[in-house]
């Protein structure tokens, strides 16, 4: 895989969509690793439908790793100029090589991602990827980091890791200086999760509402 030179992103320069960041329609889920001074380049908004599909795929195979692509929009807020991504869809990775401690996206997998986006999600972008770590915790391995940097090289593309046995998860997001910490993950905004019908059941994330009530 290291020698085939395949990249998911297009060589054509693309620009973010100008939009209003949907904070008012979202519920914030915070990671225990978030700390002052370590700000991600982009905020992540995850729709409830995408969350449910990712969760279902994550528990479909509890012994071997599974994963896929995250599809949606890369945006910049009209007022604050802050960047954010909206994850609207997920594409399960087919044609993979997988085991209990690895997941390899083959050339056919990457081609399949492109064809799916072109056919069924026109106007959307691959904003990142996700995969599971059965019984291993939330982090990016050396191989995960290699895959992320080579196949998802855009600064705004993110990586989601899910541990299905413990029901934990987190987003790995580059900082504004381009660096990526493989040991510290961020939370996200659950789009439409502020309506009293939250879908999120990842145990390691705390809602800002709980934080306010507790503190």
The CATH number assigned to the domain holding 129 equals 3.40.140.10
**Tokens describing residue 197:** 């019908």
Please give the Cα distance from 188 to 105 (Å, whole number): 25
Residue 109, in any domain of the structure = yes
Confidence band for 5, pLDDT divided at 50, 70 and 90: very low
Residue 157, in any domain of the structure = yes
Residue 55, in any domain of the structure = yes
Burial (0-12, 13-18, 19+ Cβ within 10 Å), 19: middle
Q: Taking the mean position of all CA atoms in its chain, how far away is CA 155? A: 13
Q: Calculate what percentage of the chain has a pLDDT beyond 90.
A: 74
Residue 37, in any domain of the structure = yes
Q: Where are the alpha helices (DSSP H) in 101-183?
A: 107-120, 142-151
Residue 33, in any domain of the structure = yes
Residue 145, in any domain of the structure = yes
Residue 49 pLDDT > 80: yes
pLDDT digits (tens, 9 = 90+) for 164-195: 999 999 999 999 888 999 999 999 999 987 77
Lowest mean pLDDT among 49-58, 95-104, 121-130, 143-152: 95-104
Residue 64: phi and psi, rounded to 5, are: -110, 155
Contact, 162 vs 170, CB < 8 A? Answer: no
Burial (0-12, 13-18, 19+ Cβ within 10 Å), 107: exposed
Residue 58, in any domain of the structure = yes
Lowest mean pLDDT among 8-22, 25-39, 62-76, 161-175: 8-22
**How many structural domains are present in the chain?**
1
Average pLDDT over residues 136-144: 95
Torsion angle (degrees, nearest 10) of CA 168, 8, 19, 88: -40
Residue 215 pLDDT > 70: no
Which residue range(s) make up the domain with 181?
29-214
Confidence band for 3, pLDDT divided at 50, 70 and 90: very low
Residue 134, in any domain of the structure = yes
Alpha-carbon separation of residue 195 from 72, 198, 199, 207 (angstroms): 22, 7, 11, 13
How much is the pLDDT for 71? 98
Confidence band for 198, pLDDT divided at 50, 70 and 90: very high
């Amino acid at each position: 895989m290291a020698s085939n030179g395949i990249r998911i992103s297009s060589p054509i320069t693309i620009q973010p969509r100008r939009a209003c960041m949907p904070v008012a329609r979202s519920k914030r889920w915070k990671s225990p690793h978030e700390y002052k001074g370590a700000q991600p380049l982009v905020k992540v908004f995850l729709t409830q439908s995408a969350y449910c599909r990712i969760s279902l795929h994550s528990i479909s195979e509890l012994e071997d790793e599974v994963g896929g692509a995250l599809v949606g929009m890369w945006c910049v807020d009209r007022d604050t100029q802050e960047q954010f991504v909206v994850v609207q869809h997920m594409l399960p990775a087919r044609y993979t090589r997988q085991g209990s401690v690895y997941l390899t996206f083959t050339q056919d997998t990457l081609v399949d991602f492109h064809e799916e986006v072109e056919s069924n999600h026109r106007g959307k972008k691959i904003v990142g990827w996700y995969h599971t770590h059965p019984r291993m915790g939330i982090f990016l391995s050396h191989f995960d980091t290699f895959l992320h940097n080579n196949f998802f090289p855009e600064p705004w593309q993110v990586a989601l890791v899910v541990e299905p046995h413990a029901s934990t998860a987190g987003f790995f997001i580059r900082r504004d200086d381009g660096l990526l910490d493989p040991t510290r993950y961020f939370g996200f905004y659950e789009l439409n999760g502020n309506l009293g019908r939250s879908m999120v059941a990842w145990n390691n994330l705390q809602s800002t509402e709980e934080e306010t009530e507790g503190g």
